[in-house]
Structures are given as C-alpha cells and as structure tokens.
Structure 1
Amino acid sequence: MSRATNRDEQRAEIIAAARSLFQRGLTHGSTGNLSVRVGEHLLVTPTGSSLGTVEADELSLIDAAGAHVSGPRPSKEAFLHAAMLRARPEANAVVHTHSTYAAAVSCLDGLDPEDALPPLTAYFAMRVGRLPLLPYFAPGDQVLEPAAEEAARTHAALLLSNHGPIVAGTSLGAALDAIEELEETAKLFLLLRGLPTRPLTPEQVRALARHGK
C-alpha cells in the first residue's frame, strides 16, 4: 500500500469517526477533536471545525511536539493529542469530546482526583480503568500539556475538570469504544447519585485484567 493511499484511508477513518460522534450527540457545535498517528506525525481535526461537517482535506498535520506542519490550523487542543501519544507509544489515536454526562461529572465537587468514576460495569473497568481528574485549565492553555503527558503515562483516559474526557487507544476504534464507555458510565454515575451502589470490587477488576475479558 502506498503512503498516499494509507494516509487517504486514515483521513477517511477520522471523518467517519467524526460523523459518528456528532450524529450520536457525543459532540456538539464545534466541540471535540480527533487525531491519528501517521508515521512521525499526527493527523488532527482543525480549529473551529464541527465534527458533523469537517472534510478529509481540511485535516491538519502536526508533529510529535504539537507543531503545525501542514494543512489548516489545527485544533487549539492539538497539543493534548501530541502529549497523549508521546506518553503512550503503543497508542495510535486520541479522541476528545465535551460529551454531556462526562462533562457534567467533570464539574462536580468532591471527586477523587486519582479516580473520578467508580468501576460500575465490567466494560468500564476493561476499556477505561482508573480515570484521573486533571485540574481546570482554559481550553487551549498549554500549561495543561505536562500534566496531561505525565498522567497519560499510566492512564489511557483522562477527565479534564469543567471540560470533558480525552482518551488514547491502540486504534481509533478502540479510542471511540473507550470514550463511549466512559460517557455511559458517567451517565450511570449521575443516575445513581445518592443511591446505594455496588461498584466492582478490586478483586473483580483484577480478575478482568487477568483474563482480558
């Protein structure tokens, strides 16, 4: 497969994922951004774009440090994608949304900054695991970059305070699965708030990790 064909396919994959997120209400307006690793660079959605309308030829190319290489100006949060992929060399894609329930959880007071959501379901434990809550920074504030990179070394998913989730995956499909599971667990968490709950025990979580199921 030629390099050009491969890159065209990656662009098409990003657009298909963008449309899916937008059509299912996991992003709105011009919120949310996606990236895929392309050799030593990243393809990322551009600044000010809607995932419902962005086109393949509008994607930006950045380097591993987050610097703009070619194409339209990248999302102002592209540096977060670069930071996540630097920290996780096995990952090849990053998805960031402002999805309603995860964003709502990110606004709550009193969350555990080391683990913002309990493992309410097996699929959350498998696809997301522990979810660190990072402090609030204004969108595009690059002061967040070192904190995100440090947290991403040990966690594939992060929750940004008063903002939303960001997830790295081995593939774009894996990152989408994880961020959707995170959103559904945030919904369950809010629905169950104030009720007695029974999260998975640490032993049950470890068993899932051992069996890979």
Structure 2
Amino acid sequence: MNESQAREKIATLGRSMFQRGLTFGSSGNISVKIADGWLMTPTNVALGDIDPARIAKLDAAGRHLSGDAPTKEAMLHLAMYRERPNAAAVVHLHSTHSVAVSALANIDPADVLPPITAYYVMRVGRLPLIPYYPPGDQGLAEAVGKQAAKHHAVLLANHGPVVAGGSLEAAAGAIEELEETAKLYLMLQGHRTRFLTPEQVAALRERYPS
C-alpha cells in the first residue's frame, strides 16, 4: 500500500466509523505506518471530515513533516509502534460502551472484559486497563508502552480503547469487536451469564494466536 492509498483508506475508515457512531465530535484518531514514517489523522478534526491530502505525515523519528498538525495523541500511537514493530496501523476511539466500561469500579485492571464470544478472544485477547492520565500526557504514552509489548489492545481509564494491528483492517476490526463486547458486557450486568471457560479460551488462543 503506497502513501496515497493509505491516505484514502484512513479517510474512508474515519468516515465509516463516524457515520456508525463509533466516534463523535473531533474524538478518535487513526495512524498507518508507511515506508518513511507514519500518517496520522489531524488534531481537532472529526474523523468524518478527514481530507486525505491534509493528513499529517511524520518521519521515522516522529517529527511532523507535512499536512495539518497530528493528533495530540501522537505519542500514544508511537509508543504502540515502538513496542510492536510488526504493527502497521493503530486506531484509538472514544467509543461509548468501551469508555463506559473503562469507568466501572469493579473491573479487573489486568483483563477488563470477560470472554463473552470467541471472536473477542480471537481479535482482542487480554485487555489491560491503563490508569487515567490527561489526554496527550507523556505519562499516558509511557504507560501504554509498558503494556504494548504484550498486548495489541489496551483500554485507557475514563478515555477509550487503543488497538494496533498488522493492517488497518485488522486494527479496525479488533477495536469494533472490543466495542461490541463492551456493549454486551454492559447489557449482561445483573444477569446470570455463561462466559467461555478457561479451556475454551485456551483452545482459541492456541488455534488463533494473536
């Protein structure tokens, strides 16, 4: 995928996510690794209104080269890429149900969501909770970096999910699976629930390693 194609894919995905209510206002950001650096969605621009030509370009050291100023969460994206050299894209959303789960007091910070479906286990796996930091804070990027080597998906407390993938499609598919699982989790609160067993989860992880 060349740079022009990557720009178009970012804009198309952003528009789709915005139209489907996965992000709103100017929240959320998308990045893609290219041969000589990264492309990142601009700051203070709705994902539904991304102009491919104005997407920020950063060099291999993370310096802004061209386009509009990148998202203020650029450090967060770069932390994921630094720890996951095979990652080709990162998506960060403020999706409603995931944010709601991130604010619950009784979740397990080592693995926030239970294994409700096979596809959640296959596409997301374990989901650690990153403690709260203000958006754009260097401490947030450092906290994400500490988890990123072992986990391609993390949930920022009172903020939202961040997911890296081997392609833009993989990252988008995983973060959408995460949001749907968060929705199911909230719907099941107060109900007797049958989650996948540890044996079923282990079998899925063996068959579909992330």
Q: Indicate whether the TM-score tops 0.5.
A: yes
What RMSD, in angstroms, separates the aligned Cα atoms of the two structures?
1.3
Other-structure match for 2:180: 184
Q: Deviations over 1:106-145 (max 9, x none)?
A: 1111211100101100000000000000000111111111
Deviation at 1:210, TM superposition (A): 2.1
Deviation at 1:209, TM superposition (A): 1.9
- Equivalences for residues 85-124 of structure 1 within 5 A: 85-124=81-120
Match status 1:164 vs 2:160: yes
8 A Cα contact 2:37 2:61, kept in partner: no
8 A Cα contact 2:120 2:177, kept in partner: yes
Deviation at 1:212, TM superposition (A): 2.4
In percent, how many aligned pairs have the same letter?
Answer: 56
Q: How many residues align?
A: 209
Q: Deviations over 1:1-23 (max 9, x none)?
A: xxxx8110110111111111101
Match status 1:78 vs 2:79: no
Other-structure match for 1:45: 41
Q: Measure, in 1, the Cα distance between the counterparts of 2:83 and 2:37.
A: 15
Q: Deviations over 1:25-66 (max 9, x none)?
A: 000010000000012411000110100111101100123553
Match of 2:57 among 33, 58, 61: 61
* TM-score, with length taken from structure 1: 0.94
Match of 2:2 among 1, 6, 11: 6
Match status 1:33 vs 2:29: yes
Matched letter for residue 16 of structure 1: T
Other-structure match for 2:199: 203
Structure 1 residues without counterparts, runs of 5 or longer: none
Q: Deviations over 1:153-191 (max 9, x none)?
A: 000100000000010000000001000000000000000
8 A Cα contact 1:65 1:79, kept in partner: no
Match status 1:152 vs 2:152: no
Other-structure match for 1:126: 122
Matched letter for residue 24 of structure 2: H
- Equivalences for residues 13-24 of structure 1 within 5 A: 13-24=9-20
* TM-score, with length taken from structure 2: 0.96
Q: Measure, in 1, the Cα distance between the counterparts of 2:60 and 2:187.
A: 39
SS class of match (2:147): helix
